[in-house]
Amino acid sequence: AGAAIVDVGAESTRPGAKPVWEGDEIKRAVPVIERLARGGTAVSIDTRKAAVIEAAVAAGAELVNDVSGLTYDPHSAGVVARLGCPVVLMHHQGTPETMQADPRYGDALIEVYDWLAARIAAAEAAGIARSRILVDPGIGFGKAMTHNLAVLNGLSLLHGLGCPVVLGASRKRVIGALDNEAPVEKRLGGSVALALLGAAQGVQLLRVHDVPETVQALRVWRGMRDQALTPRG
């Protein structure tokens, strides 16, 4: 449907979610990754655990997407460095069980930036090449609505980190908060709006649920922009 990468995860990290034992996570994820990879699909593994990273990459995953920014498992950074695969470092505050209880920031955008800068430095110190690091501001991960909006409106600042930026805002709670408490299944319009906001600020990778709709919106947005930038003869 137009997705460049399929992100496979076997542990929910949405607010209130409980941890999953790594053995169960591997059993759930590996067969799916193997089948997708055999069919020629580029796959990323969404996990916080070193053992799962190891098993997933062996099964054919090519990118690690860690919502903890390699902080949850002390062995993860070393495994990623050894395997030589690219990794997404995502900002968060707290744990999935508690992160939305009472998130606090002085300046959300600057604090997210500084935290990601520190995680990039830690990843490099562990032997991960900067060219293999991507960053994600973690919309909805330990952030109230005002924090999410501050980060979304200032996404372009994150390019100063020198790494590709990933945005995962699809179907997030912030959309419901801005639209009369719309439930998850009725957040397509808001998801597309945030994807276009990210694209307009130069985000390199969009993590979405509704692929065909988002791809179409991006094609139209890009076509309009390219036409506007075409010199008139």
| Residues annotated as catalytic (active site), given as ranges | 172, 207
Q: Which residue has the tokens 């169960």?
A: 24
Helical (H) or strand (E) element with 193: helix 188-200
Query: Three-state SS string across 71-97, please?
Result: CCCCCHHHHHHHHCCCEEEECCCCCCC
* Residue count of the chain: 233
- Other beta carbons less than 10 A from residue 156's beta carbon: 13
Q: Pick the closest to residue 54 from 31, 76, 23 (CA basis).
A: 76
Q: What is the C-alpha separation between 163 and 154, in angstroms, rounded? A: 16
Q: Pick the closest to residue 33 from 10, 58, 61 (CA basis).
A: 61
* Concatenated DSSP letters of 118-172: HHHHHHHHTT--GGGEEEE--TTSS--HHHHHHHHHTGGGGGGGSS-BEE--TT-
Query: Where does residue 127 fall: left (phi above 0), alpha (psi -120 to 50 degrees), or beta otherwise?
Result: left
DSSP 186: G
